[in-house]
Amino acid sequence: MHLLLSDCPVNLITVSSINKNQIWNDSMESIKVSVSPAIFSTWFSQTHLSNLSKKEGRYIAKIGCSSSFVKSTIEGRYFGLIQDSLKKILDTECDLIFIVKEHPKKEGVTKTNAPAPLFEQEERLQEEIGVSLSKARIRPGFTFENYAVSSSNQMAWAAAEAVSKNPGTSYNPLFLWGGVGVGKTHLMNAVGHYLIGERVDDKILFCTGEEFTNEIVEGIRKKTTVDFRNKYRKLKTLIIDDIQFIAGKDAVQEEFFHTFNALVAEGGQVILASDRPPHEISKLEERLRSRFEAGLIVDISPPDFELRCAIVQIKTKERGIEIPMDLVQLIAGNINSARKMEGFLIRLSSEAKLKNTEITEELIQSLLGKGIESNDKKIKATPNEVITAVSRYFSLGKRALLGTSRARPVSLPRQILMYLLRTQLNLPLQEVGRLVGGRDHTTVMHAVEKITHLASRDVQTRQDILGIKNSL
């Protein structure tokens, strides 16, 4: 049963106004480091700590916001950031409640016919930016601020940032390529978001190769190709995802060729993304391929473990949930794609709310399932090829690998070998035991259970298994 704060006044401790102001000032200093000066002055300067109380070992902070517009923005975008900063300062868990309330020092000030305050101008500007983002079909949540950077995507991030600061001159076109869920779409949206923030009146458009194709087909069918050309050739920045979709479509490639030339001639910026580099896109016209290759081509590799951890932390903060680092690593160690991570966190958050429980290791394990992701492809190899691959991967002789030594540098690779023979080749337990030095089937069962458990928790074990599978 949940009690209202007023139901138990005896256990409620209110922090004095002096301490409260100091705590909020310290919190704001911490937040200043994490956000840009423009964001801080626009949003956080319009907040204050209205009330801070303690109940049953947890603090309850009421954050006063100058308007409902500020309240919805702060609560929607920066809930986790504020909660983290207060938790560090108070060294205790803290719940947040956002309310619309003017700062006490500002109350009672007589309104005059003076020009609108700077913040009102900023509020109108933010509304204009929101409208422009919608027209340009840019996703508001995909910004540079919440894009995690590591060695696998650092070059792409630097190129996108350079283009956003000098559109039409730095790299034109900018061509990003990589597999599913590596961050291409996020990065392109981040460029569009930045450009609209700096030049709210510029004509910017984000679309996919399929949407571009469909518009051309519709224009030809309805004899409205003039409208199509006016729409696309007068843009300042054109961002197209999955550009490989236009390959093999002669009329679409013809139209895109002229659109590309018109945009670049007028100093416009073109940003393209694909699942492969230009020279590997079959049925792409040579004149388009040469133009794509005239700019900067950057590949984005799948995120490494550290980057996946950072992505999980960013996504959890956006959702206002907090997960300890060991659980962050558990999720990052089991899910390779950023898109899958986001989907998993939605499921995790929903499951926790439905069951009215905290996010625990058991809950995460139940959603992840045991061992390697179920959609990983099975290897196609003979038992001898698997034994050879494990032997080479761990730099062990086959005699030692299949021998009797129980030393960890030998026993762990041997258990991984048994795990692979059992789970990837579906060999019977007795057959696995026979191949690995004539061992009992119970020994094989123990090895498979141990590696299954380790693969869901230990990053190194998971990387070892994937490394062996890739070699096969």
The Cα 184–Cα 275 span in angstroms is 9
Instruction: Tell me the two tokens of residue 12.
Output: 């409620």
Residues 6+ apart with CB under 8 A from 390: 396, 401, 413, 416, 417, 420, 468
Q: Which two tokens stand for residue 98?
A: 């956002």
Are the beta carbons of 418 and 386 closer than 8 angstroms? no
Tokens (6 digits) for 460: 């190194």
| Those residues with Cβ within 8 angstroms of residue 16's Cβ, 6 or more apart along the chain or in another chain | none
Distance CA 436, CA 402 (A): 5
pLDDT in tens, 16-63: 555 788 888 888 888 888 777 667 777 788 888 888 888 777 888 899
Q: Which residues of the chain have pLDDT under 70?
A: 1-18, 37-38, 69, 104-126, 369-378, 456-457
Q: Cβ of 450: how many Cβ atoms within 10 Å?
A: 17
Nearest partner of 205 among 226, 219, 191, judged by Cα: 191
pLDDT (0 to 100) of residue 274: 93
Q: If we measure between CA atoms, which residue out of 469, 384, 359, 463 comes closest to residue 420?
A: 469
The pLDDT of residue 9: 42
What are the tokens at 309?
């951890």
Per-residue pLDDT, 375: 40
Task: Tell me how many degrees the CA angle 425-426-430 measures, rounded to the nearest 5.
Answer: 110
Q: Please state the pTM of the whole predicted model.
A: 0.56
d(CA 372, CA 62): 43
Q: In sequence order, what E strands does 199-295 have?
A: 204-208, 237-241, 269-274
d(CA 398, CA 388): 7
pLDDT in tens, 182-226: 889 999 999 998 888 887 778 899 999 999 999 998 988 888 888
Helix (H) or strand (E) holding 176: strand 174-178
Distance CA 70, CA 44 (A): 9
Residue-level pLDDT at 14: 54
User: Looking at residue 8, what is its pLDDT?
Assistant: 41
Helix (H) or strand (E) holding 204: strand 204-208
